Amino acid sequence: MTARSRRARPGGLGAAGPGEKALRYALLLLVLALTVSPFLWQLSTSLKSVTEDIYSSTPSFLPEQPTLDNYAQVADTIPVWSYAANSLVVAAIVITGNVIGATLAGYALARLRFRGAKLLLGLFLATLVLPGEVTIVSQYVTVRSLGLADTLLGVALPGAIAMLNVLLMRTAFAAIPKEMDEAAVIDGATAWQRLRHIGLPNVRGMLSVITIFSFIGAWDDFLWPLIVLTDPDTYTLTVGLQYLNGTFSANPRLIAAGTMISFVPIVIVFAALQRYFFRGVEEGAIKG
């Protein structure tokens, strides 16, 4: 019996003891509590009626009289569905741009040979070092010069192709065995045919990862839409929700309800794509 098989056996060399397992589960529960507790507290606050005191010295986690009136008041206070539609338009543009642009760029960097490929890859990596706040002024000047200020297209344009997504797609395409491409070339397949019939079927998981990341980034973005948009009719949901904070600062129940409304689409997208999401994570982490 080899040392590797002995380590793989339960209770063998290298196996975690009861104390170590208990510590691992304790740390996992701690991380779970720190991650989920704020969300559950916001959900609880959004369901509390006006008769409940949420500032008591011993706050109650479960609402005494659960109600959906706070959600109705949010819809009556601001055009939440119009703002949500604007956010969906921005998210759709960003997702389309990233899925198409990152796929084409990632495939070219991973599977095609051309002069300057390494230099181009280095430039992509260099852009990841710069924080978004450094380029936000130049982005606004560019968008304004294009006549896209105060438009949803102007909000979506800077995030239409993210360099991180390009590198993720490059990693996914690079994990495909080169022998498959070589066999296709021998059969006379063009680059487009190799991308369609060999590349895309093997990177569907990573495409789901990019879709989820792009949607969350576009849906939750606050600073850039706040800079670009001035007409309240074009506000996205994150910008429109600031009216709840300004008008009803003494009633955090409405703010919590607005937060839950903005959170629901993210849950829906992730639930629909989570099966492919974890497959995409494996594609990006394991090569070969």
Percent of the chain whose pLDDT exceeds 90? 22
Scored b (16 or more CB within 10 A) or e, 163-176 reads: bebbbbbbbbbebb
Q: What is the pLDDT of residue 141?
A: 92
Say how far apart CA 103 and CA 166 lie, in whole Å: 7
Q: What is the pLDDT of residues 89-127, one digit of tens each?
A: 999 999 999 999 999 988 988 888 888 778 888 887 787
pLDDT at 211 over 50: yes
Q: What is the pLDDT of residue 280?
A: 59
Confidence of residue 7 (pLDDT cuts 50, 70, 90): very low
Backbone angles phi, psi at 27, to 5 degrees: -65, -40
Say how far apart CA 206 and CA 279 lie, in whole Å: 7
Q: What is the pLDDT of residues 165-197, one digit of tens each?
A: 988 888 889 888 888 888 888 888 888 888 888
Q: What is the pLDDT of residue 282?
A: 59
Say how far apart CA 60 and CA 143 lie, in whole Å: 48
Q: What is the pLDDT of residue 14?
A: 53
Distances (CA, A) of 205 to 166, 200, 225, 237, 276: 14, 10, 30, 29, 5
Among 2-16, 50-64, 118-132, 253-267, the least confident range: 2-16
Q: What is the pLDDT of residues 121-169, one digit of tens each?
A: 888 778 777 777 788 888 999 999 999 999 999 999 988 988 889 888 8
The CATH architecture annotation of domain 72-285 reads Orthogonal Bundle (1.10)
pLDDT at 1 over 50: no
pLDDT at 9 over 70: no
pLDDT at 76 over 80: yes
pLDDT at 252 over 80: yes
16 or 46: whose pLDDT is higher? 46
Q: What is the pLDDT of residues 17-44, one digit of tens each?
A: 788 888 988 999 999 888 888 888 888 8
List the domain boundaries for the chain: 3-67, 72-285
pLDDT at 228 over 90: yes
